[in-house]
Structure 1
Amino acid sequence: MGGDRKSYTLGEVSQHNHRHDCWLVIGGKVYDVTKFLEDHPGGDEVLLSATGKDATEDFEDIGHSTTAKAMLDEFYVGDMDSSSIPTKFKYKPPKQPHYNQDKTAEFIIRTLQFLVPLIILGVAVGIRFYTKSK
């Protein structure tokens, strides 16, 4: 991309998401890290998984060295159009089935139907061995 520094939308950056063409958004800037994939100490999968989104948090959470941060300059291709990055959305938990307390009683009954005969069998075997030993 040489001297062609411009502003990119998230949609444009998201198209560069494979081993032969990998761009990342870090700190509002766009980086073409394709040539660095093989040399990345964390492996190329880490970088590839950070495409198509703002990877700033991922980059900062790892705790990259100042040297690693300085290396970004050689991969810089332009700035991010911040209006194209979705704002943080409110987490909506998936719908879960309503907890039915009646099933708890059913579970206890089934468990007891299984355990009571085992307990009776265990007591009978214990009595048999106790009376046989006398």
Structure 2
Amino acid sequence: MGGERKVYTLAEVSEHNDPKDCWLVIDGKVFNVTKFLEDHPGGDDVLLSATGKDATDDFEDVGHSSSARAMMDEFYVGDIDSSSIPSKVKYTPPKQPHYNQDKTPEFIIKLLQFLVPLLILGLAVGLRFYAKST
């Protein structure tokens, strides 16, 4: 990685996204991996799918060997302008209303919670009076 370092924006790097011209961003550095596409053990599709974004996480998740990391030096073309990479946003799931499993409207449930005990009480009292009168 010698000499003067060229700085690229993500938009500039994103233009290099096909098998004849493929650039990647890994650890803040830009790599022209076009010549390596055919030799990549994971296939060229893996590299092509990592274009146009910061591919650091993809690279790290695979667990590349130290020899693979050393090989990257020959593909280095410059650095990425970190301000051109969108920041990662933490996913926050949308707030959802209480789940009503049987889809019964809530007012009916509340009405039944009030009326059913009254009905049971009424039946108990009615049976007691019926039993006394017979």
**TM-score category of the 2 structures, normalised to the smaller one:** 0.5 to 0.7
Query: Which has a greater percent of helix?
Result: 1
User: How far did residue 4 of structure 1 move?
Assistant: 7.4
How far did residue 90 of structure 1 move? 2.6
Q: Number of aligned pairs?
A: 102
Distance 1:55 1:68 in 2: 15
Separation of aligned partners in 1, 2:39 and 2:73: 16
Larger radius of gyration: 2
1:22 matches 2:22? yes
Per the alignment, residue 71 of structure 2 pairs with 71
Per the alignment, residue 36 of structure 2 pairs with 36
Deviation of 1:91 (Å): 1.6
Shift of 1:103: 3.9
State the SS of the aligned residue for 1:11: helix
Matched, 1:80 2:80: yes
Distance 1:88 1:17, change over 3 A: same
What SS is found at the alignment partner of 2:48? Answer: helix
C-alpha contact 1:4 1:77 (8 A) present in aligned 2: no
Alignment of 1:114-133 (within 5 A): none
Q: List runs of 5+ in structure 2 lacking aligned partners.
A: 105-134
TM-score for the superposition, normalised by structure 1: 0.67
Aligned CA-pair RMSD: 2.3
Identity of aligned residues (%): 79
Q: Distance in 1 between matches of 2:41 and 2:95?
A: 40
Kindly provide the amino acid, as one letter, of the partner of residue 56 in structure 1. T
